[in-house]
Amino acid sequence: MRDSSTLIITFVRNPELGKVKTRLAQGIGEKAALEVYKELLQHTETVLQQLHVDKCVWYSVKIHTNDIWSDNIYQKAVQKGKDLGERMLHAFTEAFANHYKKVIIIGSDLYDLQPKHIEEAMEALNTNDIVLGPAKDGGYYLLGMNRLHKKAFTQKNWGTETVLQDTLNDLNAEKIHLLETLNDIDYAEDLLPYETFKKYIS
């Protein structure tokens, strides 16, 4: 049975050559970086398939139909805002305006992400205000809330190793649950632990 009081948001980049995983592309080339990103998107979709909640994909540039995100399963939208914080704030604001009780956003570049991480986040929001999934690079791969906390989205140096700590500092008055730390894929060396990606590393 589907839980339609929970929304999982996924931010994705439209998978186009030269427009995705630019830091990774510096190490393995643009074509290989695009292939890696497509595999990461497929992995993310496979994880989300197993969760019986509402789901929304927010594209970076334009909505794609008939792609790996089935139009019958996923709500679709285009990200709005000058930086990641503004884009996430817009998505969360819209979700809560649509009467969702729990809203969770995940990244789309985590090969270690499993349904259990999102299930733990959903469960934790019964007794916590915020859930964060720390990434090894100092950011986070998951953020969940049961009401809007604007402070999570403002005045951060997005894409730096201080994002998680800055977010924790800004939300220190709230009850926070931390998930397992996972490795997101930004650089060529991040591919090394995974057999499936070894073909892209020369």
Q: Check whether 202 has a pLDDT greater than 80.
A: no
SS3 (DSSP) at 8: strand
CATH of the domain at 76: 3.90.550.10
Residue 25 placed within a domain: yes
Tokens coding 96: 């809560």
- From residue 59, alpha-carbon distances to 11, 106, 115 in Å are 6, 13, 22
Could you tell me if 71 and 85 are in contact, meaning their C-beta atoms sit under 8 angstroms apart? Answer: no
Q: Check whether 80 has a pLDDT greater than 80.
A: yes
Could you tell me if 62 and 78 are in contact, meaning their C-beta atoms sit under 8 angstroms apart? Answer: yes
Percent of the chain with pLDDT over 90: 88
pTM of the shown model: 0.94
Mean pLDDT of 45-68: 96
Q: Please tell me the distance from the alpha carbon of residue 152 to that of residue 29, in angstroms, as a whole number.
A: 34
* pLDDT one-digit tens code per residue, 125-182: 999 999 999 999 899 999 999 999 999 998 888 877 889 999 999 998 899 999 999 9
Q: Please tell me the distance from the alpha carbon of residue 48 to that of residue 43, in angstroms, as a whole number.
A: 9
* pLDDT one-digit tens code per residue, 107-129: 999 999 999 999 999 999 999 99
Q: Please tell me the distance from the alpha carbon of residue 84 to that of residue 76, in angstroms, as a whole number.
A: 18
Residue 190 placed within a domain: yes
pLDDT of residue 2: 84
Burial of residue 96 (CB within 10 Å: 0-12, 13-18, 19+) is middle
Q: What is the DSSP code (8-state) at residue 105?
A: E
Range of the domain at 132: 3-195
Mean pLDDT of 65-90: 95
pLDDT of residue 8: 98
Q: Please tell me the distance from the alpha carbon of residue 145 to that of residue 126, in angstroms, as a whole number.
A: 10
Residue 201 placed within a domain: no
Residue 87 placed within a domain: yes
Look at residues 150, 174, 139, 131 and name the one whose alpha carbon lies nearest to residue 90: 150
SS3 (DSSP) at 149: coil
Residue 202 placed within a domain: no
Residue 200 placed within a domain: no
Mean residue pLDDT of the chain comes to: 94
Could you please report the per-residue DSSP string of 12-53? Answer: E----TTTS-HHHHHHH-HHHHHHHHHHHHHHHHHHHHT--E
Structural domain tally of the chain? 1
Residue 109 placed within a domain: yes
pLDDT of residue 97: 98
Residue 132 placed within a domain: yes
